[in-house]
Amino acid sequence: MKVKVVDFIKRKREVLSHHPFEFKDWLSPSIRDYWIEFLNKANSSHFATWVKDHNLVSISSGEVISDPIIIEMHPEATKVMAELTASLGEEIHVGEWLTVDQLRINNFANVTDDHQWIHTDPQKAAAESPFKTTIAHGFLTLSLLSVLTDSVDPASPKFPSAKMTVNYGLNQVRFPYPVKTGVNIRARTKIQSVTPIKRGLEIVQEITVEIEGCRRPACVAESVMRLYF
């Protein structure tokens, strides 16, 4: 099968480059079955969402689309994009210090049903933990990103011209060092990219959670946010 596929590509690649019609029409019946199976799986994948968002290909048919969608940007979106693009890679925000005490950790444990002793048993942690104290859940630190970046203050929204701000997800997250009970943490934010989307903007931020008096960060996350205008 590998030989057939390689020979097929060698014979057809020049023709395909000049004729962007359906790729599956060139396939032999056996290879076409694999292609159709791939498309069916791709329909339900993150890859399919990305392809459709960027208007690169029709997943249902495999037909290449040559004309990209032109996104009409709201004037306020254009203004915000210009401001953020000018500060790409720069630190745009340093938050206030926030104390992570045992009560906050216990409350998070109650909400998530994660009562592992390293978080909730100070006596055992003092005797057996290498940190000699309880530490915050990594997901607790992560859940604090909104408040640490001042993203949830209705009296002073970060993007007042946007009708709605949505936490779209995280590309990657790391917890380089534990947050010990009683320490102060704060977030530092950099803008990595700003991309127009339908009715708004997608913003990718690098958020670093700093521990007071510690050279290693508690968390480094690549956060994806969407603004709708």
Q: How far apart are CA 101 and CA 131, in angstroms?
A: 15
Q: Where are the domains of the chain?
A: 5-54, 75-228
Q: Mean pLDDT check: name the lowest of 36-40, 58-62, 143-147, 155-159.
A: 58-62
Residue 193, pLDDT > 90, answer yes
Helices 46-53, 29-43: axis angle to 10 degrees equals 90
Residue 177 has pLDDT above 90, yes or no: yes
Q: What is the dihedral of CA 154, 155, 159, 164, to 10 degrees?
A: 30
- The pTM of this model reads 0.67
CB 134 within 8 A of CB 102: yes
Name the percent of the chain lying above pLDDT 90. 63
**In CATH, what is the architecture of 75-228?**
Roll (3.10)
Q: What is the pLDDT of residue 154?
A: 78
